[in-house]
Amino acid sequence: MSSVSEKMPDGKLYISNDVIATIAYNAAKEVEGFAGLSKLSPSSKSLFKANKHSIEIKSGQTGIEISIAVDLKSDASVQNTVKLIQSNIKNAVQNMTGNVVKRVNVTVNDIVFED
């Protein structure tokens, strides 16, 4: 299990990548126009796998990089919706974990049309 660690006065704090991915997913869900996470491709090596969906978390010395693949609703402005998803994820992860999010990569894989 990969995690983000931080030295604390009384020891170390470890935050699982699954926890960070859950925070990111919940932040993305709050954005109008978000339809859901895209399914994993067979070759994906994502760290977070739940119900065949994926969010990838990479931790480095300068911060966290989050990659998320999403489906959007057909009436959503792709550019505006992606910017809001990026902003919501960055703010939520930074506020809840105290770690710097240096980048949020969003891939739009599909547009969902309601019947």
Phi, psi dihedrals of residue 26, rounded to the nearest 5°: -65, -35
Query: Higher confidence at residue 104 or residue 48?
Result: 104
Neighbours of 89 (CB within 10 A): 25
Task: Convert the pLDDT of each residue in 28-71 to its tens digit.
Answer: 999 999 999 987 555 555 545 554 457 999 988 899 999 999 99
Task: Convert the pLDDT of each residue in 7-20 to its tens digit.
Answer: 767 888 889 999 99
**Per-residue confidence at 94, pLDDT binned at 50, 70, 90?**
very high
pLDDT at 51: 44
Q: Alpha-carbon distance 10 to 16, whole Å?
A: 19
The matching CATH number, chosen from 1.10.10.10, 3.30.70.1350, 1.10.10.60, 3.20.20.450, for 3-112 is 3.30.70.1350
- Chain centre to alpha carbon of residue 28: 7
